[in-house]
Chains A and B, each alone.
Chain A
Amino acid sequence: MEQPQFTVFKTVLAYSVFILVSPVLTFFVTKFIFFEGFLGISSTSSNVWSAVLAVVMLHIALGLYILKAYSEADRGKGKPAEKVE
């Protein structure tokens, strides 16, 4: 009983961190390294494109979480957990 609860917690924690960190990281990495470093685009348009990429990344992360939750729930359908008194 204790073990699956911990694994679920680990999965949720990992996905939460991924969802929160990946867009922020995408924004700053693409802005400073890719757009301004590599391509040398001006500040405004590099801001906009990094923001767009960050939002796309966010939705990819969210989609992965939904996929995981969906497949997870199908797998663990076996027995309903007992109510903890």
Chain B
Amino acid sequence: MSELGEQNPVYGPFFGVMGAASAIIFSALGAAYGTAKSGTGIAAMSVMRPELIMKCIIPVVMAGIIAIYGLVIAILIAGNINNPTSYTLYKGFLHLGAGLAVGFSGLAAGFAIGIVGDAGVRGTAQQPRLFVGMILILIFAEVLGLYGLIVAIFLYTKN
């Protein structure tokens, strides 16, 4: 496999590169939405209850974790992209699929974390016992991104 052919055409790495890019782009988009949306909630809540800030930073941290999922997959893919003579088209497709899997799951999880974080933080300021429920819902939202990561790692390890 030292020259270009049908199995490893010159445009093969394009798919892998797009996979790496979409992994980080979409999960960063989701993380940014989650941070911004729950950040407005924290800003509104902490005017009256500043002692709750430490508790209510949790949605922001979880949104940041979504971006780390994307970063991990993007690094894995980027480390495996090669010049087209030794990079089959099949591998490119797998990498594209892995990147899209973690990217769009991260986007979905980021949206969920943002909306839940906003409402949950505002609610926690008025009824502190809501905190446990907020954490639980946030964890379920976060796990959506983790599912994407698992699928992406499976796709990445396929040969």
Contacts and interface: CB of A to CB of B under 8 A. Distances in A.
Q: Do A and B come from the same complex? A: yes
A80 B54 contact: no
Contacts of A32: none
Interface residues of B, number: 31
A45 B153 CA distance: 11
Nearest to A47: B76
Contact of B61 (A16, A27, A48): A16
Contacts of A62: 61-62, 65
Contacts, number: 72
SS class, residues of chain B in contact with chain A: helix
A29 interface: no
A20 B58 CA distance: 14
B72 A54 contact: yes
A73 B128 contact: yes
B88 to A, nearest CB: 14
Interface residues of A, number: 31
Interface stretch (B21-29, B43-51, B103-111): B43-51
B72 A27 contact: yes
B123 interface: no
A43 B79 contact: yes
Contact of B156 (A11, A48, A68, A69): A48
B82 to A, nearest CB: 11
Nearest to A84: B50
B54 A69 contact: yes
Nearest to A74: B128
Contact of A20 (B49, B64, B76): B64
Nearest to B146: A55
B157 A19 contact: no
B83 interface: no
Nearest to B53: A8
Given A48-B156, A55-B69, A83-B47, A73 B61 contact: no
B119 interface: no
A49 B54 CA distance: 33
Contacts of B157: 44-45, 48
